[in-house]
């Protein structure tokens, strides 16, 4: 029984339980972010480096900023104590019992599962050298099950359009009276961190083909750079998205579908890339995807369709 | 092929008429009247052609597969022609009556649209070739009649509409259950001369019995059999042409016609007698006859009394069919036509009284004979016919029913007939006495002749004379009686 | 070429959505119309192909099954794609009248709707458990922003509750998929089905999780709380799409799982009767609630909750008749419910409110809308000659064949209750305005032909379905792999 | 391999906790967190399953989890936008 | 080398412990901030040093150094912002 694993698992559960139980909203958000970071650590421990990166960048990073931003934008009356549950005590006990049974059943189920050797996983590992990318997860994402990845980018696009329709921009709510506006330190931080973030993001995207990384993780880091610039007043929002921004937003999906459809007659199957250019196409798709994801996550944060640079 | 699909064209004429009327909209009266009348006349012609065809024995059949193993079938046999001719003739007469009755009333396009839709449904019921098609048009009739019952829009009409729906849709659901149950026993439900159960009753004795009860329940609602008749008297709140054509002819007869179809063309006579269903049907019919007449006596409103009279008269048909002997069947089936003609005359007269002098209560009938002689003459004719006074139509059907009862050794039916005739007299004669001999209540009533306007009077006269003719000239080849004899000959295969 | 059709049916609508997103506030309806045609064409071609050639399969990315994802267009998916295409085109025409492309918010309808269309086609074609999760999520996330188009505070809180519950449903479904992947190591439905043949405790747990997740997303009674508000407060064409297609997608997936991998766990008598019990509860509860709603759109929304209950009656009567009955009822309900919502939307648009009590006397003024409502109501009530009736007929035959008498009574009772709430609305059309009201105040806004006629066409289609039983059931073919 | 089961149990407990949280917490933001906890629980379960292959972690569940995370984040971001909008509407309604 | 490395790591842990204790015990925000940032930064530094010693590869050492640098700057800026915000709240500038 490895102490580290037991401790992490216990801490995870404790954090999640506190996050859901504690009445104060701000405290539960902070707990949730810490829970996300610890989860990223757990995944690194469970030999899933890609996911650790993704969870840290997207789950804890972007989501953390969004949660804190939303909490900030909720306005004073709503922020403090969240009303304790209105359910009668009996129902709470019932739901507690129900969830306990669910958890127990799931745990016992997972425990029972035999490790099947002949599943799709082993098949994927065996056919690894075939697709251009060495990294197994990226291979699955961009080649074997690239259909899922494509649909997923469409989900991101829908979320962005949905956020526009919700018409509740986050950035504007934080603008004026925020403490960060007037401190000299912010420009220093931005000048130092923004380029570092951009470089790391680009590296992650490029490295995705061979080492853990890829479009999503890289995109998230790039988005983080964008959020930093937005908070530092270098990046403002605009009422309507210019055509360039819209093009970049959908670039990933367009290239993905385009590559699939145009090459379909040749290979008689959707998204089956011919041998010679497979590597090239995948890289192209990955880069455009990263750009689209970065912009989408940024727009999910700002909440308004347009973006404009603010000088000085 | 066109000739063979004649039943479909008969149905389509009124359907198309309905669509044209709906589309034409409220303002174009001239167009609506011409379309209605033209459709009615054209349908009459088609029915005549079909009549001749059936007489010659031509085959009229249209099949359309709706589901694997389930078909919409329209065909025309002798029984169909009986109901189709009755409806076609009376639709023409009632359309003329309705056009003048609704002179200035609002929503006339809506009225005539649903009116012709009702007739289309009735035609469908008449020409249906199997239980499935019958049920399709049976429910369509409910949907088409509801708007007519609530046509006036008064809160009272709405309440009646709700009652009407509850009964008819409930009945429809029970009927559907019966049909599907029959279907699941492997009986497709086609209308074949000797019945299409072909031996199923041997294996599933109880189920077949139970299914008959379901079918009877479903059809009984529209045939106004006793426990299910409540909607009919209250439906009198509808305008006169509606209560005339629909509640005296189309809707009520659809139920009775359904019972006839089920008894003869689905179950067949042997099964009916073997499972004692015949006597059950006859018993229920008798109860309704007596109950209907008793309730009629207690009514003060003219149309409600006529409604209860309808409740009891329709059960004569069920009684005739229930007895199962050839003569009783003749009596029952011919009463379908005779009752239709007589009852529509009475309702037309009631409509005339209400429209010209606003008479609704029976007490207000005093001395109306002097002021509206023709209408009251027709009323008297109809009344005597209903009572079964020879040589009128009512007598012919009751005579055959009596003979049929003797033939089927169901002696208990004779006293039922006599008692009901007596009860008829009890509720009809006082009305006649008031109309002719009682002095008019207020002074201005004695001013002189104030007959209903021509548009209302002429149709009443036509139906009155037709009722008279059906009785007196029963012997002629194309009279309802001889046609029914032709049907019975086919059914019993003599 | 036929190999490409499933892919085109998914990606052309998505492409249309993306192009409309790119085109920005530019030209008016023409682009939108182009988008609709671009989306409808492949769907119809695919349906024709399936009718001719039977099941079509396509291995995405050229990889064989356990590794890659398989798209499969069999009878059931072809029927659902046909339903989506038909309802989609007519609702789009109606939306052309309502959402003009200049206004920023309603322009997004023309982005989200083709994406939703593509997502629906993707879901109907998917034969892979995880891919079904992604497409289901895609459908939900395209539908929720559409609810927002109305922009009212009610719509926002309804959308939020819808989102939270839909997310929860998806997570449960994913938990089930995880367990199945743990057991079998494959995600393809057919392969998983073969490897799950042994059954056992874990399969039951996985089935329970997946089914619960789908029941939440399909708003079956215990989890229906989000539906009435979401469908009630959304604009008319959106609620038509939601009720006719989106909610049915979750039930479709349930049927697909039942006839595929989860056949054994779900056909155990106890589970089958539990699901049927939920269906009965949905029918009765939804209808009773529909009878009590003050607003027209809520009546129609609760009617959806009720009508979806019918689709759960399949499980205890596993047979070809029940299968055909449930699916035919689903298709007929889709068409008729879309017509009902469009008609209700027209009424609301014209006289500014949809309180049933105050509809009195508006019959003459809104003749076409009430006419559409009546015709569509016939199919919802399951009265002949409508598609709903054929569905009810097949279901009744199935229940009586299986000897489940009380289930037949429930179906009939459902029909009568439906008659209750349909005629409750129609009564307003025939009733005279009460004497003191100074006659019907003139309609607030006049609706153009674009908004008026698609609803009527959909209603008439509901009736036409009453006659088109033979070809459609031939297209559906027999029950895939079930105990039929 | 006992360490493995600890995470499996943790995953199951997370799903249970999230489920309980979703039912009892009325505040939409807390409910969004609860759903995310359920999601993370399921993802953890998937990752635990991925380690059962003899030669190296199984990439399929990893891809599933990555897709799941992106979907969860975009849905939650949209949910948070709705929460903000709902709060703003409530504020406008109050004053 | 590994012995030396683990010793350094233990020292680092000690600093973390001090930082945490400080955060819990100190009365007001500023002192707590002070404790956390100072102690943890040094703790992290020692940790990175220890790992570099154990892993004995220059590239990793450089990477760890960069990580340490970034972490320190982030911590200081964060601490500055929180302190400033707290100060503005105390002076009612809000």
ipTM value, please give it.
Answer: 0.87
Q: Does D82 touch chain A (CB under 8 A)?
A: yes
SS3 B107: coil
Q: How many CB pairs under 8 A join A and C?
A: 154
Task: Provide the pLDDT for residue D3.
Answer: 47
Give the helix, strand, coil percentages of chain A, each rounded to 5.
75, 5, 25
pLDDT of A48 over the 60 cut: yes
What average pLDDT does this structure show over B53-59?
Answer: 82
Q: Is A74's CB within 8 Å of D90's CB?
A: no
Q: What is the pTM of this model?
A: 0.90
Q: Which of A37-46, C54-63, C397-406 has the lowest mean pLDDT?
A: C54-63
Q: What is the mean pLDDT of chain A?
A: 79
Q: Does B441 touch chain C (CB under 8 A)?
A: no
DSSP per residue, C150-173: T--HHHHHHHHHHHHHHHHHHHHH
What range does the domain containing E58 cover? 2-90
Separation between Cα atoms, residue E90 and residue E82, nearest integer Å: 12
In order of start, what are the domains of chain D with their CATH numbers?
2-94 (1.10.287.3510)
CB atoms under 10 Å from CB of C253, counted, come to 25
Helix (H) / strand (E) element for B218: namely helix B205-222
Q: Does A120 touch chain E (CB under 8 A)?
A: no
pLDDT tens digit sequence for B202-221 = 777 888 888 888 999 999 99
Q: What is the pLDDT along chain E (94 residues), one digit of tens a residue?
A: 778 888 888 888 888 888 888 888 888 878 888 888 888 888 888 888 888 888 888 888 888 888 888 888 888 888 887 887 788 777 765 4
pLDDT tens digit sequence for B271-311 = 888 878 888 888 888 899 888 888 888 888 888 888 888 88
**A108 CA: distance to closest CA in chain D (Å):** 8
Domain ranges of chain C: 267-484
Separation between Cα atoms, residue E22 and residue C387, nearest integer Å: 75
Separation between Cα atoms, residue B252 and residue B225, nearest integer Å: 10
Q: Is D74's CB within 8 Å of A85's CB?
A: no
* E-chain residues near A193 (CB < 8 A): 70, 73-74
Q: What is each CA distance from C460 to A122, B120, C242, C373, C385, in whole angstroms?
A: 54, 18, 20, 11, 11
Q: Is A1's CB within 8 Å of D18's CB?
A: no
Structure tokens at C257: 């799982």
Instruction: Give CA C239 to chain center in angstroms.
Output: 10
SS3 C446: coil
C-alpha count within 13 angstroms, C-beta hemisphere, residue B159: 5
Of residues A181 and A242, which shows the higher confidence score? Answer: A242
Of residues B446 and B271, which shows the higher confidence score? Answer: B271
A254 vs C18, C111, C183: nearest CB = C18
pLDDT of C436 over the 70 cut: no
Chains E and B make contact, 3+ CB pairs within 8 Å: no
Is C372 within 8 Å of C429 (Cβ atoms)? no
Q: Is D89's CB within 8 Å of C182's CB?
A: no
Residue of C nearest to A143 (CA): C61
pLDDT of A111 over the 80 cut: no
CB atoms under 10 Å from CB of C404, counted, come to 18
* C-chain residues near D40 (CB < 8 A): none
Q: Is D53's CB within 8 Å of A55's CB?
A: no
Residue of D nearest to C67 (CA): D60
pLDDT tens digit sequence for C112-169 = 899 999 999 999 999 889 999 999 999 999 999 998 887 788 889 889 999 999 999 9
Chains D and E make contact, 3+ CB pairs within 8 Å: no
D75 vs C141, C178, C181: nearest CB = C141
Structure tokens at E31: 């002192």
Q: Does A66 touch chain D (CB under 8 A)?
A: yes
* C-chain residues near A118 (CB < 8 A): 185
Q: Is C153's CB within 8 Å of D89's CB?
A: yes
Domain ranges of chain A: 1-76, 135-312
Q: Does E74 touch chain A (CB under 8 A)?
A: yes
Of residues C266 and C137, which shows the higher confidence score? Answer: C137
- Cβ neighbourhood burial of C366 (10 Å; 0-12, 13-18, 19+): buried
Structure tokens at C113: 């709707």
Q: Which of residues 95-114 of A touch C (CB under 8 A)?
A: 105-106, 109-110, 112-114
Q: Does E94 touch chain A (CB under 8 A)?
A: yes
Q: Is the peptide bond before C52 cis (omega within 30 degrees of 0)?
A: no
Q: Does D89 touch chain A (CB under 8 A)?
A: no
Q: Is E73's CB within 8 Å of A189's CB?
A: yes
* C-chain residues near B106 (CB < 8 A): 364
Separation between Cα atoms, residue E94 and residue E80, nearest integer Å: 17
pLDDT tens digit sequence for B345-367 = 888 888 888 888 888 888 887 87
If pLDDT is split at 50, 70 and 90, which confidence band does B136 have?
very high
Q: Does A63 touch chain D (CB under 8 A)?
A: yes
Computed on alpha carbons and rounded to an integer, the radius of gyration of chain E in Å comes to 16
DSSP per residue, C3-40: GGHHHHHHHHHHHHHHHHHHHTT-S-HHHHHHHHHHHH
Separation between Cα atoms, residue B20 and residue B25, nearest integer Å: 9
* A-chain residues near E77 (CB < 8 A): 185, 188-189
* Number of domains chain E is built from: 1
SS3 C432: coil
Is B388 within 8 Å of B454 (Cβ atoms)? no
Q: What is the mean pLDDT of chain B?
A: 84
Task: Provide the pLDDT for residue A78.
Answer: 56
pLDDT of C482 over the 60 cut: no
Task: Provide the pLDDT for residue C9.
Answer: 84
* A-chain residues near C3 (CB < 8 A): 268-269
Residues 6+ apart with CB under 8 A from B341: B86, B90, B393, B463, B466, B467, B470
Please, which residues bridge with residue B67 across strands? B70
Region class of B417: left (phi > 0), else alpha (psi between -120 and 50), else beta: alpha
Q: Does A188 touch chain E (CB under 8 A)?
A: yes
Q: Does A189 touch chain E (CB under 8 A)?
A: yes
pLDDT of B168 over the 60 cut: yes
Helices C405-430, C367-381: axis angle to 10 degrees equals 170
Structure tokens at C162: 């819808």
* A-chain residues near D11 (CB < 8 A): 106-107, 110
**C383 CA: distance to closest CA in chain B (Å):** 7
Separation between Cα atoms, residue C391 and residue C326, nearest integer Å: 7
**For tokens 């409540």, what's the residue?**
B230
Q: Does E78 touch chain A (CB under 8 A)?
A: no
């Amino acid at each position: 029984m490895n102490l580290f694993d037991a401790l992490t698992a216990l801490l995870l559960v404790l954090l999640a339980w506190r996050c859901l139980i504690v009445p104060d909203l701000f405290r539960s958000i902070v707990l949730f972010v810490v829970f996300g970071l610890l989860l990223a650590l757990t995944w690194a421990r469970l030999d899933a480096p890609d996911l650790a990166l993704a969870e840290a960048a997207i789950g804890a990073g972007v989501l953390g900023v969004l949660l804190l931003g939303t909490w900030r934008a909720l306005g004073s009356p709503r922020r403090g104590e969240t009303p304790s549950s209105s359910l009668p005590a009996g129902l709470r006990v019932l739901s507690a019992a129900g969830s306990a049974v669910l958890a127990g059943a799931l745990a016992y189920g997972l425990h029972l599962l035999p490790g099947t050797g002949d599943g799709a996983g082993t098949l994927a590992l065996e056919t690894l050298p075939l697709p251009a990318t060495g990294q197994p997860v990226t291979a699955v994402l961009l080649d074997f099950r690239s259909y899922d990845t494509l649909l997923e980018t469409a989900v991101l696009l829908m979320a962005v359009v949905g956020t526009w329709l919700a018409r509740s921009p986050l950035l504007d709510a934080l603008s004026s009276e925020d403490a960060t506006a007037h401190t000299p330190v912010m420009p220093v931080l931005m000048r130092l961190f923004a380029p570092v973030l951009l470089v790391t993001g680009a590296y992650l995207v490029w490295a995705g083909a061979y080492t853990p990384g890829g479009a999503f993780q890289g995109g998230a880091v790039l988005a983080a750079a964008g959020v930093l610039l937005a908070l530092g007043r270098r990046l403002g929002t605009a009422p309507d998205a210019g055509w360039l921004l819209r093009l970049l937003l959908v670039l990933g999906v367009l290239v993905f579908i385009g590559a699939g459809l145009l090459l379909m007659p040749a290979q008689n199957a959707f998204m089956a890339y011919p041998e010679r250019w497979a590597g090239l196409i995948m890289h192209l798709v990955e880069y455009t995807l990263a750009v689209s994801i970065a912009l989408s996550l940024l727009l999910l944060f700002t909440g308004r369709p347009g973006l404009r640079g603010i000088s000085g | 092929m066109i000739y063979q699909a004649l039943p479909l064209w008969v149905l389509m004429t009124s359907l198309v008429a309905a669509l044209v009327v709906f589309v034409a909209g409220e303002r174009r009266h001239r167009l609506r009247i011409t379309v209605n009348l033209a459709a009615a006349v054209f349908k009459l012609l088609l029915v005549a052609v079909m009549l001749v065809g059936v007489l010659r024995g031509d085959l009229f059949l249209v099949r359309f597969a709706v589901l694997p193993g389930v078909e919409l079938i329209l065909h025309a046999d002798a029984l169909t022609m009986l109901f189709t001719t009755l409806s076609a003739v009376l639709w023409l007469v009632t359309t003329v009556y309705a056009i003048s009755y609704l002179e200035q009333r609002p929503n006339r396009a809506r009225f005539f649209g649903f009116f012709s839709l009702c007739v289309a449904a009735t035609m469908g019921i008449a020409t249906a070739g199997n239980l499935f098609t019958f049920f399709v048009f049976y429910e369509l009739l409910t949907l088409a009649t509801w708007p007519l019952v609530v046509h006036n829009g008064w809160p009272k009409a709405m309440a009646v509409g709700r009652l009407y729906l509850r009964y008819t849709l409930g009945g429809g659901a029970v009927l559907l259950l019966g049909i599907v149950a029959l279907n699941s026993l492997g009986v497709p439900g086609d209308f074949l001369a000797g019945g299409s159960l072909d031996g199923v009753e041997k294996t599933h004795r109880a189920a077949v019995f139970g299914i008959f009860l379901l079918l009877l329940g479903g059809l009984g609602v529209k045939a106004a059999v006793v426990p299910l008749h409540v909607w009919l008297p209250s439906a009198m709140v509808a305008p006169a042409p509606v209560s005339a054509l629909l509640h005296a002819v189309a809707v009520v007869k659809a139920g009775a016609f359904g019972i006839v179809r089920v008894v003869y063309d689905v179950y067949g006579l042997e099964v009916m007698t073997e499972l004692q269903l015949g006597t059950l049907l006859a018993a229920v019919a008798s109860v309704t006859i007596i109950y209907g007449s008793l309730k009629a006596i207690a009514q003060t409103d003219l149309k409600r009394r006529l409604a209860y009279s309808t409740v009891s008269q329709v059960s004569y048909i069920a009684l005739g069919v229930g007895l199962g002997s050839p003569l009783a069947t003749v009596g029952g089936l011919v009463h379908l036509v005779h009752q239709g003609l007589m009852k529509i005359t009475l309702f037309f007269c009631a409509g005339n009284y209400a429209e010209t002098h606003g008479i609704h209560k029976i007490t207000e009938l005093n001395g109306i004979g002097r002021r509206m002689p023709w209408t009251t003459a027709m009323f008297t004719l109809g009344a005597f016919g209903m009572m079964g006074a020879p040589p009128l139509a009512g007598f012919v059907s009751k005579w055959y029913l009596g003979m049929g009862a003797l033939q089927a050794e169901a002696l208990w039916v004779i006293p039922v007939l006599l008692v009901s005739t007596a009860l008829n007299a009890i509720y009809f004669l006082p009305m006649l006495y008031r109309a002719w001999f009682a002095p008019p209540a207020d002074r201005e009533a004695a001013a002189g002749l104030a007959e209903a306007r021509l548009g209302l009077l002429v149709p009443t006269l036509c139906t009155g004379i037709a009722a008279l003719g059906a009785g007196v000239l029963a012997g002629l080849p194309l009279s309802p009686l001889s046609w029914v004899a032709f049907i019975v000959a086919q059914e019993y295969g003599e | 070429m036929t190999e490409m059709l499933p892919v085109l049916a998914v990606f052309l609508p998505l492409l249309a959505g993306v192009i409309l997103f790119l085109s920005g506030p530019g030209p008016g309806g023409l682009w939108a119309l182009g988008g609709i045609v671009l989306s409808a064409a492949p769907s119809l071609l695919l349906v024709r192909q399936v009718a001719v050639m039977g099941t079509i399969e396509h291995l995405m990315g050229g990889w064989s099954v356990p590794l890659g994802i398989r798209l499969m267009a069999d009878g059931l998916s072809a029927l659902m794609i046909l339903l989506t295409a038909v309802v989609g085109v007519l609702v789009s025409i109606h939306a052309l009248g309502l959402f003009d492309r200049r206004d920023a918010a309603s322009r997004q309808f023309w982005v989200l709707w083709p994406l939703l269309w593509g997502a629906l086609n993707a879901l109907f074609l998917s034969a892979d458990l995880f891919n079904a999760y992604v497409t289901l999520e895609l459908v939900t996330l395209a539908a929720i922003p559409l609810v927002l188009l109305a922009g009212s505070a009610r719509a926002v809180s309804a959308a939020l509750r819808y989102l939270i519950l839909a997310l929860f449903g998806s997570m449960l479904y994913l938990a089930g998929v995880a367990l199945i992947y743990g057991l079998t190591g494959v995600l393809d439905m057919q392969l998983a089905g073969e490897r799950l043949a042994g059954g056992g405790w874990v399969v039951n747990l996985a089935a329970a999780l997946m089914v619960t997740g789908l029941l939440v997303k399909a708003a079956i009674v215990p989890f229906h709380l989000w539906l009435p508000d979401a469908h009630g407060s959304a604009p008319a064409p959106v609620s038509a799409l939601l009720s006719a297609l989106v909610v049915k997608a979750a039930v479709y997936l349930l049927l697909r799982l039942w006839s595929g991998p989860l056949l054994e766990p779900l056909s155990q008598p106890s589970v089958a009767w539990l699901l049927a019990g939920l269906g009965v509860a949905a029918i009765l509860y939804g209808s009773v609630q529909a009878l009590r709603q003050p607003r027209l759109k809520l009546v129609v929304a609760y009617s959806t909750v009720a009508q979806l209950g019918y689709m759960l009656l399949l499980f205890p009567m596993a047979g070809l008749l029940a299968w055909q009955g449930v699916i035919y009822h689903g298709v007929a309900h889709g068409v008729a419910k879309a017509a009902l919502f469009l008609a209700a939307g027209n009424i609301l648009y014209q006289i500014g409110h949809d309180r049933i009590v105050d509809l009195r006397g508006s019959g003459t003024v809104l003749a076409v809308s009430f006419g559409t409502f009546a015709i569509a109501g016939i199919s919802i009530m399951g009265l002949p000659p409508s598609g709903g009736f054929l569905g009810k007929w097949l279901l009744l035959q199935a229940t009586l064949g299986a000897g489940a008498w009380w289930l037949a009574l429930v179906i009939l009772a459902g029909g009568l209750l439906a008659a209750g709430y349909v005629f409750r609305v129609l009564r307003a059309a025939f009733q005279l305005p009460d004497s003191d009201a100074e006659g019907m105040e003139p309609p607030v806004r006049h609706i153009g032909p674009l908004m008026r006629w698609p609803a009527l066409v959909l209603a008439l289609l509901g009736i036409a379905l009453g006659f088109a039983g033979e070809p459609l059931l031939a297209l559906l073919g027999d029950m895939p792999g079930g105990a039929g | 391999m006992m360490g493995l089961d600890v995470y499996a149990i943790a995953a199951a407990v997370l799903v249970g906790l999230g489920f309980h949280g979703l039912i009892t917490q009325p505040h939409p933001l807390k409910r969004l967190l609860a759903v995310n906890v359920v999601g993370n629980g399921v993802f953890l379960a998937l990752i635990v399953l991925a380690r059962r292959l003899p030669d190296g972690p199984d990439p399929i569940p990893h891809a599933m989890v990555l897709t799941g995370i992106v979907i969860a984040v975009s849905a939650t971001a949209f949910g948070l936008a709705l929460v903000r909008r709902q709060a703003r509407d409530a504020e406008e309604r109050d004053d | 080398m590994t012995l030396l490395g683990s010793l350094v790591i233990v020292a680092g842990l000690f600093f973390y412990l001090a930082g945490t204790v400080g955060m819990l015990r100190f009365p007001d925000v500023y002192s707590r901030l002070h404790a956390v940032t100072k102690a943890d930064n040094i703790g992290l530094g020692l940790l990175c040093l220890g790992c570099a010693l154990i892993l004995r590869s220059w590239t990793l050492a450089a990477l760890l150094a960069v990580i340490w640098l970034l972490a320190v700057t982030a911590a200081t800026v964060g601490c500055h912002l929180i302190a400033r915000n707290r100060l503005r709240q105390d002076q009612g500038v809000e």
